[in-house]
Amino acid sequence: MQPTPTASPAPTRRGLLAGLGVAAVAPLVLGTTRRPALPHQSAVAQATGGPAVLLRRASLVLTMDPALGNGPLGALQDADVLVRGGAIAAVGPALAAPPGARVLESSGKLVMPGFVDTHNHLWQAMIRGGCTDRDLFGWFRSCTDPQRGLLTPGALHSFVRLAALDAVQSGVTTLVDWVDIFSYDLVETYVRALAGTGLRFTYAMYPPAPDGALVAKVKKELVDPVPLGSFQIATHAARAARSDNLAHWELAQDLGVMLNSHVLERPEMRADDPVGVLDGIGALGPRLLMNHAVHLTDAEIAAVAEHDVRLAHCPLSNMRLASGIMRLSDLGRRGVKVGLGLDGGTNDTSDFHALMKTAIGLQRARTTEAGVFPQVHDVLRMATLGGAEVLGLADQVGSLTPGKRADLLVIDPAALNFAPRFDWTGQIVFNGRPENIEAVFVDGRPLKLGGRLVDVDTARVVREAEAEAARLRSA
């Protein structure tokens, strides 16, 4: 049985746009009302692209494209961003608004590409704030394993939607979800919940017994029809699972998608030799995404760099689970492509500013050097274009380069935690919080405007998740 779609007594786009300083008075209709839609319904909504939108005279635009502006982040002052057909049409001063375009007065605001979350497990919203005195293995034993077994389609839908919307309101526009939930009806529910939020997502499916037919069916029937959905094969690389790892890698190659593995999250996992296993099956390369990779040796860092393996760094999760500190500064020195990941319930909430600040702070704590990699511009790049590069999506998103899809954020720095202006670029990382994110666009469609999610009854989303959690507690 599918969950009931959410009704939408939420604020209208018109009202929200007024809050954002929209010049036009006609209602802005960018796609249909977003609900937990069937994938093909999302396809209809997302294929429209909607009318053009001009973000006018933003005080600071970080394009992430050095060719478009100043410094490594391609910064522009008092610049416009024109979105047309769901894509970035132009960035620069005093752009003309095409006929029918909606104009968002953005003076005093900051505009940048949306955050790319390279590693998450949204369903774990059901165990947020739980098992806080446990390490990874204790977390598996006490929280993850017993709770996952209780999931019903309705509960799963509620938790995934809750966490996905939390990610959207925090500025995440692309998200990779590593999912070890197996039955077809639960997978269908999961994908439906993700698709209904309007996020750009990658469903990384862990097939327990490498079931090629099931995986191909999920990809073809559930994920491929969602215009903003893509697919990966997930695995747990380890000596004892070598034959499964090989089957997963072959499956990924057959489907032309990336292999996505947890690697060396805890020191004890050295005994599993996951990098050696991945090397042995021939998976080391740009089609491999390793999560965590906290305990890499010098030789493994060299191999990762040599083969252009992609990494997801999850500093908040690694701190919470006492997993250790990734050797990010060593990886950065070698030019390894690393993105940032929120990592599900182990980071409890979806705060990309905290994630960026922690990525900087842990390396400084580890080395006692303030000049160590990453610096502010490095983490901002990791959080956007760097994450897109990790996922092989940099030709589509990650910067405000004209022609790319319009995934972007508007940040309002006029807040008690953010003002006054000193160095806004640094303040995005060190001062920013999700509530400073005023607007979020994915593929040119507004998912958040005026500081509120568009066409989402947030109270109802929370209420339904609470009801499902209460039902599971009493089961």
Give me the residues that bind Zn ion (CB under 5 A), please. Answer: 343
Smallest gap, in angstroms, from Cβ of residue 437 to Zn ion?
Answer: 24
The nearer residue to Zn ion, 343 or 468, going by C-beta atoms, is 343
The nearer residue to Zn ion, 120 or 436, going by C-beta atoms, is 120
Do the Cβ atoms of 169 and 453 come closer than 8 Å?
yes
- Reading the block at residue 330, the tokens are 């060593």
Do the Cβ atoms of 440 and 104 come closer than 8 Å?
no
The nearer residue to Zn ion, 343 or 348, going by C-beta atoms, is 343
Smallest gap, in angstroms, from Cβ of residue 343 to Zn ion?
Answer: 5
Smallest gap, in angstroms, from Cβ of residue 352 to Zn ion?
Answer: 17
The nearer residue to Zn ion, 300 or 343, going by C-beta atoms, is 343
Measure Cα distances from 423 to 195, 427, 428 in Å: 37, 6, 9
Smallest gap, in angstroms, from Cβ of residue 262 to Zn ion?
Answer: 6
Q: What is the 3-state secondary structure (H, E, C) of 237-272?
A: CCHHHHHHHHHHHHHHHHHCCEEEEEECCCHHHHHH
The nearer residue to Zn ion, 343 or 412, going by C-beta atoms, is 343
Smallest gap, in angstroms, from Cβ of residue 338 to Zn ion?
Answer: 15
Q: What angle do CA 310, 313, 318 make, to 5 degrees?
A: 145
Smallest gap, in angstroms, from Cβ of residue 120 to Zn ion?
Answer: 8
DSSP 172-191: EEEEEEEE----HHHHHHHH
Query: Which residue lies nearest Zn ion, judged by its C-beta?
Result: 343
The nearer residue to Zn ion, 63 or 118, going by C-beta atoms, is 118
Smallest gap, in angstroms, from Cβ of residue 124 to Zn ion?
Answer: 9
Do the Cβ atoms of 456 and 34 come closer than 8 Å?
yes
The nearer residue to Zn ion, 343 or 351, going by C-beta atoms, is 343
The nearer residue to Zn ion, 342 or 429, going by C-beta atoms, is 342
| Residue 378 to residue 11: CA distance in whole angstroms | 37
> For the chain, first and last CA: distance in Å?
19
| Residue 142 to residue 134: CA distance in whole angstroms | 8
* Amino acid letter, residue 109: K
For residue 279, what are the contacts with CB-CB under 8 A and spacing of at least 6? 303
Helix axes 184-197, 39-47, angle to 10 degrees: 20
Smallest gap, in angstroms, from Cβ of residue 344 to Zn ion?
Answer: 6
